[in-house]
Structure 1
Amino acid sequence: METALDAPPATVASVSLAGEARDPDGFAAALGASFERYGFAIVSDHGIPAELIARAEAAAKALFALPEAAKRAYHLPGTGGARGYTPFGTEAAKDATLVDLKEFWHVGRELPAGHRYAQVMAPNLWPAELGEFRDTMLALYAAFEATGARLLAAIARHLGLAPDFFVDTVDDGNSVMRLLHYPPVPADAPGIRAGAHEDINTITLLLGAEEAGLQLLDRDSGRWLAVSPKEGELAVNVGDMLQRLTNNRLRSTTHRVMNPAPERRGHSRYSMPFFLHFRPDYLIETLPSCVDADHPDLYPQPITAHDYLMQRLREIRLL
């Protein structure tokens, strides 16, 4: 069985968001360079309160500890897992033959009645068994979104755009917070916790990656490298939508979650990624500043964020 052992560390940038206010250009340069080289960075001092993270982690563990029948009551087949529960063994990486060894729960944006995106963004499901779950998760969703906005401003600065360039692109965006549970792994388990894949969205902010297993594929060496944030730090990576927008200047890097080393096999792994998305009707059209004689436009056909999402969800068997 493949495990998380032996992958050398990736030398991705480790940046403090607290330092962004003091030196916005320096922060943007370090973040952007890491995204161009590896597609990943580690962000500390991100502003999401430790107390809120702890509450959300406890609520997620309580959720996944519910009886299987109780969890499956919140599974909505045919919806792409957009909200509520997706059972163990459902999702697979694109072109993979084996399913991932995980179960998860999705929390999306709460929309008021009659909102223009109501047709493409489903209402949330909330487990009746867990009274504090809704308030905790909506607070974490809002905190992720605020941190994501600061990171997008830095990305805009790195790209030579106005710092507020992304504000409109993600206004009421179809962002999704995923609560992930990777159960203990038997020695003869087929497959791995999460097969090699790229993220669909704009950027991903991940809490919980300090449990070993997250690896990126270095496109220069062809080697798998470990991404190992310290406790409470965010692993942040570029998604396919941002890669497409920037004509591959910022890279959506293949990554995976390996099975644990033998001594950790009996332990669950929990994490909470926030998939920050553009608004559904945002037209992803290559930035002119990312096209020149040496970098012709790789994506001459624009596509809306919603159409791109649907295309990709079919590829990973969630639709």
Structure 2
Amino acid sequence: MNTIPSVNLSDFISNNSVRKQNFVDAIGKAYEEIGFVALKGHFLDNTLVENLYKEIKSFFSLPTEIKQKYEIPNIGGQRGYVSFGKESAKGKKEGDLKEFWHFGQYVQNNKQLENEYPKNVNVEELPEFNKIGKEAYLMLEKTAKYVLRALALYLGLEETYFDSYIYNGNSILRPIHYPPIKEEPKEAVRAAAHGDINLITLLMGAQGKGLQVQNNKGEWIDAIAQPDELMINVGDMLSRHTNNKLKSTIHRVVNPPKELWGTSRYSIPFFMHPVSDMKLNVLEGCIDDNTPKAFKDTTAGEFLTERLIELGLIKK
């Protein structure tokens, strides 16, 4: 497979059983073969998208000393600002050429989780920043819920199987700024080859070249979305849970050609995480004689902690 398949969520949420089943089959097949789809028909409208980009560009344009006051120590970068070069891919010592922000869950009716999750960080200089960020977070979370419902049906599970796990889940919205490149990078790229940790990732801002996906032959192919599409991929948690039936595909963001070094790039992934006590044990329906159980039992919380240590965001 050398292109990313495109699907439309309006087929799934239509009242037409044929269109709904076609969506389920198409997205399931894509996630078995390449691990990525481009999705139309999501819940983000154009005005919200424009406002979000305006706010994040304003934030990353702030002086470094102002941004750094929103970098909160001892929380593994889970909320607020993470400065340039702090994060590196698993197994890579060079820091990625990016800075980013984290919006986290807006917990409803659960004091325990309110205490477990770090608090969202309020940017004083930009009165609309947190409001617009929350609106986008909730619309991406809603989109992700329906994608997971389609995947539940594809896996032979009850349609709402994932709903209770993702309600108040530890999901993250991450606006990323890849600043202009000022000198020849020695080994670093904008985002080194990696798989995502979570269940699924919904990516805004994949228009234009930069994001690349590794197909089953090990070839790197460009993943370019249309302006009205989100790029959505499987993360390691869902891959484990399905015994690799659904693929968590390695992907990267490469540096632009030299003539474009002077430009910024922005992308906004939404990492859909479940609550930390969700068991990621391999589903019985994904084990057979040809595909024995490939992963030890673990929970989402244990797996996340393990990966954050590997990424250097949490110290042992």
TM interval, short-chain normalised: over 0.9
Paired letter, 1:222: G
Q: CA deviation at 1:118?
A: 2.9
Is 1:16 the counterpart of 2:12 in the alignment? no
Q: What do residues 21-48 of structure 1 show as CA deviations (whole Å, max 9, x unaligned)?
A: 2311110111111111111011012121
2:298 to 303, 306, 312: 303
Q: CA deviation at 1:235?
A: 0.4
Q: CA deviation at 1:171?
A: 1.6
Structure-2 separation of matches of 1:179 and 1:164: 29
Q: What do residues 266-304 of structure 1 show as CA deviations (whole Å, max 9, x unaligned)?
A: 1100011000001111111111000011110111x3211
Alignment of 1:186-197 (within 5 A): 186-190=182-186, 191-197=188-194
Percent identical pairs in the alignment equals 39
Q: Which residue of 2 aligns with 1:158?
A: 154
Structure-1 separation of matches of 2:135 and 2:110: 23
Is this contact kept in 2: 1:117–1:280, CA < 8 A? no
Alignment of 1:10-89 (within 5 A): 10-20=2-12, 21=14, 22=16, 23-89=19-85
Is 1:108 the counterpart of 2:100 in the alignment? no
Paired letter, 1:16: N
Cα-Cα RMSD: 1.4
Structure-2 separation of matches of 1:113 and 1:36: 36
1:106 match: secondary structure = strand
Structure-1 separation of matches of 2:146 and 2:42: 9
Is this contact kept in 2: 1:192–1:259, CA < 8 A? yes
Q: What do residues 39-67 of structure 1 show as CA deviations (whole Å, max 9, x unaligned)?
A: 10110121211110110010000000011
Alignment of 1:166-315 (within 5 A): 166-190=162-186, 191-218=188-215, 220-299=216-295, 301-315=296-310
Q: CA deviation at 1:16?
A: 1.1
Q: CA deviation at 1:114?
A: 6.5
Q: 1:316 to 1:62 in 2, by over 3 A?
A: same
Unpaired segments ≥5 residues, structure 2: none
Quick one: higher RCO (CA 8 Å, sep 6+), 1 or 2? 1
Structure-1 separation of matches of 2:189 and 2:80: 23
Structure-2 separation of matches of 1:232 and 1:279: 30
Structure-1 separation of matches of 2:248 and 2:116: 25
Q: CA deviation at 1:113?
A: 8.4
1:236 match: secondary structure = strand
Paired letter, 1:137: G
Structure-1 separation of matches of 2:146 and 2:46: 18
Unpaired segments ≥5 residues, structure 1: 1-8
Is this contact kept in 2: 1:42–1:235, CA < 8 A? yes
Paired letter, 2:246: L
1:247 match: secondary structure = coil
1:242 match: secondary structure = helix
1:295 match: secondary structure = coil
Structure-2 separation of matches of 1:143 and 1:112: 16
Structure-2 separation of matches of 1:261 and 1:270: 16
Q: What is the TM-score with the length of structure 1 in the denominator? A: 0.94
1:124 match: secondary structure = coil
Q: Which residue of 2 aligns with 1:316?
A: 311
Structure 1 segments, 4+ long, off by >3 Å, are none
Structure-2 separation of matches of 1:63 and 1:115: 31
Q: Which residue of 1 aligns with 2:91?
A: 95
Q: Which residue of 2 aligns with 1:5?
A: none
Structure-1 separation of matches of 2:273 and 2:219: 29
Is this contact kept in 2: 1:207–1:232, CA < 8 A? no
